[in-house]
Amino acid sequence: MKTRILGNGLEVSALGLGCMSMTQVYGPAADKTEMIAMIRVAREDGVTFFDTAEAYGPFANEALVGEALAPIRDDVAIATKFGFDIDLETGERRGGTNSRPEHIKAVTEAALRRLRTDRIDILYQHRVDPAVPIEDVAGAVKDLIAQGKVKHFGMSEAGVDTIRRAHAVQPVTAVQSEYSLFWREPEKALLPALEALGIGFVPFSPLGAGFLTGQIDENTKFDDGDFRNFVPRFSPEARKANMALVNIVRTVADRKEATPAQVALAWLLAQRPWIVPIPGTTRLHRLRENLGALELELTPADLAEIDAGTSSILVQGERLPEAVLKMSGL
């Protein structure tokens, strides 16, 4: 397995595994026994980087990941997140964000128990809390690092100025945000800033929530509980218009005897050597398909073809519902 280094020295597999979809979001939760088996197969296939969060469930995803990785804990890096106002006893979502230092520390203790571990490799702030100075947040994580309960500090969906302020208090190892051929906004300011600061980048939804696999079109019906039913970018009209993007990826994939998903991931990997995408899946054959992207070499001509073809396409629809965008501050 090829590896990459995030920030100030965290070496992980060049592709990680996003575990969120195993317990929620894309319809009903997957079978727990099957997901534990798949996480362990991912490790056998070389994956060493696993992503979860207290908010996924809440709590159910961390418990699943913890159970799956407990026998091989020393062979992997686990990333989880704090930042939402969730009751630590009941799991009730009280709405909004909560990054008060005392809450961060309580969330971390609870996460350590659910993950069956004595340390968290990357602890991300899931969303910036406008009510708490980012310096206080970074200071709380710095304390946890000093205690050995956390190894690295991460931020998710944060703006460049906020990242800089946090990094000055406690070096940030990785920033997590959406990035793919379906959403290229990070290229404008975020990626140059991370490069200057020496911070790694962990793109979530690297396959555009499944759209870049080529398996979704305007006629696709999602399960009732699937969040894509509420995303403007996944309205039937937007999907129909956005197929032009998929067709460009598919053209390259056919020539390279690869799949659209593999091309989309290989494109991401080619953007910077410190980018580690975390595609998620609940299907073993998709996991192995995604890992195949690590063996796919896109030539400069391939990359130029993709960029030329996609540069004239304006992706239709917002990437998230309006309420979520407001919470993200983006």
- For the residues of 82-112, what is the DSSP string, one character each? E-EEE-TTT--EEEEE---HHHHHHHHHHHH
* Residue recorded with tokens 């996944």: 234
The DSSP H or E segment spanning 36 is helix 32-44
Kindly tell me the number of DSSP H helices and DSSP E strands found in the chain: 11, 11
Phi, psi of 82 (to 5 degrees): -125, 170
Query: What confidence score (pLDDT) does residue 330 get?
Result: 40
**Residues acting as catalytic residues:** 56
Using the 8-state DSSP alphabet, how is residue 78 labeled? Answer: E
CATH number, domain at 270? 3.20.20.100
Whether the CB-CB separation of 77 and 10 falls below 8 Å is answered with yes
Please report the pLDDT score of residue 329 as a whole number. Answer: 45
Task: Please state, in angstroms and rounded to a whole number, the distance separating the CA atoms of residues 190 and 195.
Answer: 9
Q: Are 62 and 52 in contact (CB under 8 A)?
A: yes
Q: Which amino acid is residue 328, in one-letter code?
A: S
According to DSSP, the residues that pair with 32 across neighbouring strands are none
What gap in Å lies between CA 180 and CA 183, rounded to an integer? 5
- Asked if 235 and 242 touch (Cβ cutoff 8 Å), the reply is no
User: How much is the pLDDT for 27?
Assistant: 82
Q: Which residues in the chain land under pLDDT 70?
A: 323-330
Q: How far apart are CA 304 and CA 308, in angstroms?
A: 6
- Torsion-angle region of 128 (φ positive above 0: left; ψ -120 to 50: alpha; else: beta): beta
Q: State how far the Cα of 239 lies from the Cα of 316, in Å rounded to an integer.
A: 8
Taken in order 58, 62, 63, 68, the sign of the CA dihedral is positive
* Unique residue bearing structure tokens 């140059």: 192
Which residue segment(s) compose the domain that 48 sits in? 3-328
* Distance (Å, whole) CA 150 – CA 153: 8
- The predicted structure's pLDDT at residue 323: 67
DSSP letters of 259-324? -HHHHHHHHHHHH-TTB----B-S-HHHHHHHHGGGGPPPPHHHHHHHHHHHHT----S-SS-HHH
- 318: which residues sit within 8 A by CB, 6+ positions away? 231, 232, 233, 325
Residues in the chain: 330
- Number of domains forming the structure of the chain: 1
- The DSSP output letter for 206 is T
pLDDT at residue 24, rounded to an integer: 77
pLDDT number for residue 26: 83
- Report the distance separating Cα 271 and Cα 303, nearest Å: 9
